[in-house]
Amino acid sequence: MFKKTHDQKYIFEKLESFHQMDMTYDSGRILGSMCTKPDPIALEAFRMFTETNLGDGGLFKGTSMMEDEVISSLSRLLHSSEACGHIVTGGTEANIMAMCAAKYIFQEDNEDTPEVILPRTAHFSFKKACSMLSLKTVEVPLNDEYKIDTTALEDCITDNTMAIVAIAGSTEFGLVDDIHEISKIAHSNDVYLHVDAALGGFIIPFLNYRNKTRLNFDFKCKGVSSITLDPHKMGLAPVPAGGILFREKKYLDKLAIDAPYLTKNVQTTIVGTRTGATTAATWALINYYGMDGYADIVEGSINLTGYTYNKLRQMKNVNVIVKPELNVIAFNVDDMKVNVLKEELFKKGWRVSNTVKPYAIRLVLMPHVKREHIDEFLSDLEEIIGGS
Ligand code: 0PR
């Protein structure tokens, strides 16, 4: 028996008091998060694999096999039969891996500073990636719809262009760039194209499947080299679950590092020791829900987004910035500063986020947000605006 400093009762009471301070998704009050309450089946699977380590995959052969199966499923979801990649910690790590692979490819025949073309709507993880990898950023302008202006894209390409980044579900507005057109430009100029579908990757395929949208964003587009898609966003997996897929194994192989003393002597991830638990959670979710289950979940949130959008548009003095394409809505209010409105909403218990260009309140309607929460939110909003 080891000596203990405190008994279990004390430990768990303390833990409970920390937990009490947290917001919960169940409250329906978190309206600005791209994460959501993990699905029970995912949690069950997660618990089964907490001692696994994909960083030493030879010890955990079943877990490694499971990761391969998850990657194959995601590859098929994104219209490829041979894409390869990993389940990682999130969209940030996935985006850094893509930028890293693109840099190594660029450096095979160019010694100049690599340039990355990206829109200002790109997530700040690209700022991290560009800073860590010493990449120069070139900002491609947006069109009136807050999407990459494809007519301006070709002018941004130089001999030193390392990659173009396009977004399928932008952080601020949930908008999808014209990836079909961008892919054509990337392909004809022989430039690496990374699609950040951290949010949209677990939404768009299911909307397309139900014929609700016809958005081309994946490996069907010939010029797309890699895609980020996160199970811990609309995939309903617990954090930390991101996904990175490369069109061909040769791209992933650029990241290979020898680990000669381990059971698998090569690693192609940034992280060394890494859990298999989120891979198990993702495996369980994909195989449990399949296309129809996910389509139902996604449609629920998209329909609620449509409902909220229509209600907001009917409200006096409310301006919705752009018609939502996925599950994100940004709006502001005449004669009321966004930070004031955010503060008033905060006082009423709502946790919303905001966009910057233009300033607006941002709502992300994840599956934990239900119609009754939205109705209550809208009524509080009405009251705040009425009293302004
Ligand atoms: N790419 C896009 C398009 C994103 O929106 C995000 C994060 C990332 C990449 C990075 O993903 P990770 O955060 O998994 O590394 N988007 C969310 C956001 O900034 C992250 C988030 C999630 C923030 C939940 C707050 C929150 O409560 O809104």
pLDDT per residue as tens digits for the range 267-304: 999 999 999 999 999 999 999 999 999 999 999 999 99
- Indicate whether residue 235 lines ligand 1 (CB < 6 A): no
CA of 258 to the centre of ligand 1 (A): 31
**Count of C-beta atoms within a 10 Å radius of residue 313:** 12
Do both 326 and 177 map to the same domain?
no
Is 16 among the domain residues?
no
Residue 216's H or E segment, with its range, is none
Residue 185's CATH number: 3.40.640.10
Residue ending a domain, among 249, 266, 288, is 288
- Indicate whether residue 213 lines ligand 1 (CB < 6 A): no
Residue 172's H or E segment, with its range, is none
CA of 172 to the centre of ligand 1 (A): 10
What is the chain's percent helix, strand, coil content, to nearest 5? 45, 15, 40
pLDDT at position 387 over 80: no
Do both 32 and 45 map to the same domain?
no
pLDDT of residue 318: 98
Q: What is the DSSP string of 28-76?
A: T-B-S-S--PPPHHHHHHHHHTTT-BGGGGGG-HHHHHHHHHHHHHHHH
Do both 313 and 195 map to the same domain?
no
Mutate-to-test residue for ligand 1 from 22, 31, 34, highest number of ligand atoms within 8 A of CB: 34
Binned at pLDDT 50, 70 and 90, residue 50 comes out as very high
Is 1 among the domain residues?
no
Domain count, the chain: 2
Residue 376's CATH number: 3.90.1150.10
Q: Is the CB of residue 246 less than 8 Å from the CB of residue 83?
A: yes
Spell 39-77 as b/e; 16+ CB within 10 A means b. Answer: beebbebbeebeebebbbbeebeebbebbeebbeebbeb
Do both 115 and 260 map to the same domain?
yes
Is 17 among the domain residues?
no
Q: At residue 213, what are phi and psi to the nearest 5 degrees?
A: -140, 165
CA of 143 to the centre of ligand 1 (A): 23
Residue ending a domain, among 255, 288, 321, is 288
Do both 195 and 297 map to the same domain?
no
Which range is least confidently modeled, 6-10, 211-215, 227-231, 263-267? 263-267
Do both 182 and 251 map to the same domain?
yes
Residue pLDDT, tens place only, 71-92: 999 999 999 999 999 999 999 9
Do both 215 and 303 map to the same domain?
no
Write out the residue range of the structural domain in which residue 222 sits.
40-288
CA pair distance 285, 74, nearest whole angstrom: 12
CA of 271 to the centre of ligand 1 (A): 19
Is 53 among the domain residues?
yes
Binned at pLDDT 50, 70 and 90, residue 172 comes out as very high
Do both 278 and 305 map to the same domain?
no
Do both 250 and 333 map to the same domain?
no
Give the residue whose CA is nearest to atom 25 of ligand 1: 33
Averaged pLDDT score across all residues of the chain: 97
Do both 252 and 300 map to the same domain?
no
pLDDT of residue 227: 99
Is 3 among the domain residues?
no
- Indicate whether residue 203 lines ligand 1 (CB < 6 A): no
Do both 343 and 236 map to the same domain?
no
Is 355 among the domain residues?
yes
Residue ending a domain, among 251, 272, 288, is 288
Give the residue whose CA is nearest to atom 10 of ligand 1: 91
pLDDT at position 261 over 90: no
CA of 59 to the centre of ligand 1 (A): 32
Is 15 among the domain residues?
no
343-349 long-range contacts, CB within 8 A, separation 24+ = 344/384, 345/377, 345/380, 345/381, 345/384, 348/380, 348/384, 349/27, 349/29
pLDDT of residue 15: 98
Give the residue whose CA is nearest to atom 8 of ligand 1: 91
Do both 259 and 348 map to the same domain?
no
Residue with tokens 């950023």: 137
Cα→Cα distances 198→18, 152, 164, 336, Å? 30, 25, 16, 32
Give the residue whose CA is nearest to atom 26 of ligand 1: 33
Q: Is the CB of residue 90 less than 8 Å from the CB of residue 241?
A: yes
Q: Is the CB of residue 384 less than 8 Å from the CB of residue 346?
A: no
- Indicate whether residue 227 lines ligand 1 (CB < 6 A): no
Q: Is the CB of residue 212 less than 8 Å from the CB of residue 191?
A: no
Is 138 among the domain residues?
yes
Residue 103's H or E segment, with its range, is helix 91-106
